[in-house]
């Protein structure tokens, strides 16, 4: 039964896990996350320099806790995996160097993992994961993408955001409303008591140069501007901000846009399963609306477990195990560095023995 130690340090969570693949599927043996959220929230967003420093401080403790839970020496593992792209360069470097050092010391293969492939693999940590082909809506702080997943780790991006990612929009609107970072959970919390139809907000579309719209693409900049105007006009009128109604209306329109474009895409692609992953996939309104809408089209919705929606190392381990299941001797060069930007369809390059970066 292949077992891997995995590391995730691409942004503001330091995470370490041990994951195995046995007859009943992917199993998380140990998983630890040290969140830096409290520290970054003072600045209203992630400060790259602080993130790297905190990763360096947290990783030794997390490693020893995870290995204690695992209860066996590193040498019995089958591989070491770490996220190497995309993300903050300095932050990625911490996990990558730790992973490559462990691999070299224990003569184990090292697998550099694409962060989005990790998010996609988080669905494998459910009891009954879907069978490819299926469509994934990946919604995080850095990405909003519709991806068709085939067998053999073959991914095709069909839709994307042309400006902010959905999570980024949550974070910015939370800031506008005076709510703490990260914005998604803050907005979700106050929106529970709000009227989601209190404000009429735009569902941004992206025009095609030849006319019409890209059917599966997203834009959140118009929505952000509309929210800003609402807030300004309420403040100018001297009234206090109806934070709960504003939060609920914003959350509702984001969920509707994500659901409508996903439903169109999954049907046009003749697929029967839709998978929801990434930090924003933890949002209850989005999960509920997606399931309700999908039911009427007989489409099955699979959601990542909430604990594995936001950044974690278990999903990175699952992605590595999937690669190894596909090809037993997959490994990355120990010379492989990190890359802040890398499209998902270039993740194959991470296993070139002459690495691209």
Q: Which residues bind ligand KG4 (CB under 6 A)?
A: 11, 140-142, 167-168, 170-171, 182-185, 188, 278-280, 282-283, 310-311
Pair 112, 96: CB distance under 8 Å:
yes
Distance of CA 280 to the CA centre of its chain: 8
Which of 168, 188, 245, 311 contacts Zn ion by CB under 5 A? 311
- Name the DSSP class of 77: -
Cβ closest to ligand KG4, residue 9 vs residue 98: 9
Residue 112 binding target from ligand KG4, Zn ion, none, CB below 5 to 8 Å by type: none
Residue 170 binding target from ligand KG4, Zn ion, none, CB below 5 to 8 Å by type: ligand KG4
Residue 208 CB, shortest distance to ligand KG4, in Å, is 28
> What phi and psi, each to the nearest 5 degrees, are found at residue 7?
-130, 140
For 299, residues 6+ apart whose C-beta sits below 8 A from its C-beta are: 263, 266, 267, 271, 272, 273, 274
Binding region for Zn ion (CB under 5 A) out of 78-86, 133-141, 164-172, 330-338: 133-141
Residue 326 CB, shortest distance to ligand KG4, in Å, is 24
Distance of CA 52 to the CA centre of its chain: 19
For 353, residues 6+ apart whose C-beta sits below 8 A from its C-beta are: 333
Is 244 a binding residue for Zn ion by CB under 5 A? The answer is no
How far is residue 116's CA from residue 111's CA, in Å, rounded to a whole number? Answer: 15
- Name the DSSP class of 24: T
Residue 278 CB, shortest distance to ligand KG4, in Å, is 5
Residue 155 CB, shortest distance to Zn ion, in Å, is 16
Is 140 a binding residue for Zn ion by CB under 5 A? The answer is yes
Residue 300 CB, shortest distance to ligand KG4, in Å, is 22
Q: Could you give the 3-state DSSP secondary structure of residue 80?
A: strand
Residue ranges binding Zn ion (CB under 5 A)? 140, 311
């Amino acid at each position: 039964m292949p077992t891997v130690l995995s590391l995730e340090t691409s942004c503001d969570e330091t995470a370490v896990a041990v994951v195995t693949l046995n007859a009943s599927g992917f199993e998380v043996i140990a998983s630890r996350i040290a969140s830096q959220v409290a520290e970054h929230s003072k600045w209203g967003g992630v400060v790259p320099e602080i993130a790297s420093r905190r990763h360096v401080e947290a990783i030794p403790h997390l490693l020893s806790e995870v290995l204690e839970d695992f209860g066996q020496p590193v040498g019995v593992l089958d591989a070491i995996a770490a996220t190497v792209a995309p993300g903050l360069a300095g932050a990625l470097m911490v996990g990558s160097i730790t992973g490559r050092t462990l691999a070299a010391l224990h003569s184990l293969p090292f697998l550099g993992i694409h962060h989005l492939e990790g998010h996609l693999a988080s669905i494998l940590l459910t009891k009954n994961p879907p069978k490819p082909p299926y469509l994934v809506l990946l919604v995080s702080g850095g990405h909003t993408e519709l991806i068709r997943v085939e067998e053999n780790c073959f991914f095709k991006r069909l839709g994307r955001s042309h400006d902010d990612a959905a999570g980024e929009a949550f974070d910015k609107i939370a800031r506008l409303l005076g709510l703490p970072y990260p914005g998604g959970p803050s907005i979700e919390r106050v929106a529970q008591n709000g009227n989601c139809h209190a404000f009429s907000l735009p569902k941004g579309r992206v025009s095609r140069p030849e006319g019409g719209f890209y059917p599966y693409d997203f834009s959140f900049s118009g929505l952000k501007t509309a929210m800003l105007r609402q807030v300004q006009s309420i403040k100018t009128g001297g009234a206090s901000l109806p934070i709960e109604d504003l939060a609920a209306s914003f959350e509702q329109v984001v969920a509707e846009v994500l659901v409508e474009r996903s439903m169109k895409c999954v049907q046009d692609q003749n697929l029967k399963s839709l998978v929801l992953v990434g930090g924003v996939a933890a949002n209850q309104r989005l999960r509920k609306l997606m399931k309700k809408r999908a039911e009427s089209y007989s489409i099955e919705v699979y959601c990542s477990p909430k604990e594995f929606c936001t950044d974690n190392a278990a999903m990175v381990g699952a992605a590595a195990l999937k690669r190894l299941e596909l090809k037993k001797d997959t490994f990355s060069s120990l010379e492989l560095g990190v890359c802040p930007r890398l499209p998902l369809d270039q993740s194959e390059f991470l296993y070139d023995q002459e690495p691209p970066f």
